[in-house]
Every structure is written in structure tokens, then in C-alpha cells.
Amino acid sequence: MLLPAKPIIGRVGPSEQPMKFTLRQLQIFLAVARYENISRAAQSLHMSQSAASEALLNLEQVYEVRLFDRARNKLTLNPIGQTLRKEAEKLLAHCQSFEERLQGHNNVGHIKVGASFTIGNHLATRYLAGYLGRYPDADVQLDIANTPDVVARVLNFEVDIGMIEGEVQHKELELIPWREDELVVFCAADHPLARKQTLTARDIKTAMWILREPDSGARHTFERALAGLLPDVNIYLELKHNEAIKNAVESGLGIGCLSRIVLQKNFANGDLVPLTLPRRDMRRTFYFALPRGRYPIEAVEAWMAICREMDRE
């Protein structure tokens, strides 16, 4: 007859051993990774530079690992630090969600959103109203920039979700298709092309174009649609903001190309006129942008759901 095994006393399983790091150390590690500077990281966390530096050094010493390459006043993540950064972001997001549930505030909905110019200025504010209607106590931060800057903020974990105007290839970025859009070529009501309405290849080459900056989503779609003619296109002005382009076109400086979303009211008022480019596909897709593999955040899921619901309505 076999006797039952005696319990082992005095041994602690791996899951029961105390962690050698603190969540505060992870916050400091991530802040330094974001700012690449101890002083700025400490300031963002409302602590002294010496305390932040000591906490980071202790983290590295305890695990006998270097997380950063140090050069003068700049700290850049090394390959080990890059890998651990993703895990640290997931862990802190999970801890934040857990704490909110413990406190009974899981429906607060705090979120940071990064949006490209067209989306941020013409769509996101409408979604914001719908979101705050559901989460009235939420602290919502909306950062508006061009598409590359929004992508950089997503990858740097400065925002919880990005909303961009075109497809961006990056191995650490997850793109979720959201809604369709279309660019429209347009001119002032008194422009000679307004009476013609349909542009020939010669019209495209001889026109003076006023376009968004080269890195913008709208510019990428324009260049894709006019492939083959680009070397002969006369780009007269490149402007960063949609309103500046509309004003320049309305003043008669040239013709432009922007999202139909931006131009709807102007077309209705008659101060700007749409122009047709036969056989030129100017359709594009708007995307939600997230760090690949990030821990799911309830507020992010809610934001995407509300955007889709309001678009259907």
C-alpha cells in the first residue's frame, strides 16, 4: 500500500516567489524608452531625476541585463530592451485594467487617440461626442498629426489607438480596416476648368497643383492614382493643412485634391467645384492602428465600436 506523499514544507513554487521588480520600475523603464532621456522621463512621472536613474539602474543590476545603449545624455533601447518593452506595455495595460475593475471604475473609458489631419478635424470630434455620451467621466486625449507622426506615437505607446488615412507597412503595427474614403480633385467656381469638369491627361499636366505634404495619406493616394503622369505634374504648393489648401484653391492659385469628407460643404455651397479624372482610382481605406500583440484595452475596443456604429448611422 502506497502512503500519500508528504507535503514539501519550506519550498516555494515559481509562481509564489516574490517579483524582483516593481510596477514603478516598469513605468520608469517605459518612460525612458519613450523620451530617451532620464530627466524628461522623470519629469513626466513627477519624480526626481536621481530617483528615476537609481530605479532603472537597480532594475538592470538585479537581472544583470543592459536595457539601453548609453551615449552622452541619450539612452536608446538595445535589442533586449526593445523586446522587453512590448511585454512591459502589455503588463502595465493589464495591471491598469485590473486596478480599474478592483475599484469599480472599469466603465470610465479613459483613452488617448491619435488621428491624422483629415480624420481628426472632420470625423474624430463627432466620434468623441458619441464616446463621451457613453462614458461621461472619461478623460479623452485627441492628438492630431499627419499619418507618419500618428504611426510613430502608436509604436511609441504615446497613444492607445491611431486613426490613419492609408496603409502603412511596419512589422510592429496592426492595421484594422475601418471605413472607405475617396479623394476628389477640385477647383474654384470661377476657374477655367470648372466649366470643363472632366480633365484630360493634358489638363492634369498643365494644371498648377496644390497638394498635401509628401508623407500624408492623401498624397500617397494621389500619387498612386496618377502613376505614369507624376513626372509631368506641376506641383505648385505643398501644404500641411486641408483648410489652407482649400483657401489657396478658392483664391485661384491652382487646383487641389482632398478627401470628399473635407469638401462636402464647399461643394454644396458652390464655392468649390469637383473635377472628374476618368479611369483614375482615388479610393482608399481608413484604418485603426494598434501596436501588434498589445494587451486588449476595453476603452480601445469601445472606441472602435462607437466609430463603426456612428458611421453606420
DSSP annotation string for 76-117: EE-HHHHHHHHHHHHHHHHHHHHHHHHHT-TTS--EEEEEEH
Span 181-283 CATH architecture:
3-Layer(aba) Sandwich (3.40)
pLDDT class of 7 with cuts at 50, 70, 90: very low
Q: Which CATH superfamily is domain 111-179+285-312 in?
A: Periplasmic binding protein-like II (3.40.190.10)
Let me know how long the chain is.
313
pLDDT class of 113 with cuts at 50, 70, 90: very high
Pair 153, 146: CB distance under 8 Å: no
Q: Find the helix or strand (DSSP H, E) in which 287 lies.
A: strand 283-291
19-103 has CATH 1.10.10.10 classification = yes
Model confidence pTM above 0.85: no
pLDDT class of 4 with cuts at 50, 70, 90: very low
C-alpha 180 chain-centroid distance: 18
Query: pLDDT tens digit string along 246-304?
Result: 999 999 999 999 999 999 999 999 999 999 999 899 999 999 999 887 777 888 999 99
For helices 79-103 and 23-35, give the axis angle rounded to 10 degrees.
130
The whole-number pLDDT of residue 247 equals 96
pLDDT class of 218 with cuts at 50, 70, 90: very high
Degrees to nearest 5, angle at CA 77 with 72 and 79: 130
CA pair distance 212, 118, nearest whole angstrom: 11
The whole-number pLDDT of residue 103 equals 63
Query: pLDDT tens digit string along 61-98?
Result: 888 889 998 887 788 889 898 888 888 888 887 787 77
Residues of the chain within CATH 1.10.10.10 domain(s) are 19-103
CA nearest to 142, candidates 131, 285, 98 = 131
What is the DSSP secondary structure assignment for residue 33, as one 8-state letter?
A: H
pLDDT class of 100 with cuts at 50, 70, 90: low
- Mean pLDDT calculated for residue range 166-179: 90
The whole-number pLDDT of residue 102 equals 67
Residues of the chain within CATH 3.40.190.10 domain(s) are 111-179+285-312, 181-283
Residue 214 CB-density burial (10 A; 0-12 exposed, 13-18 middle, 19+ buried): exposed
CA pair distance 128, 130, nearest whole angstrom: 5
The three three-digit cell numbers of residue 136, written as one number: 461621461
* CA contacts within 13 A on the Cβ side of 295: 14
Inform me whether the pLDDT recorded for 17 exceeds 70. no
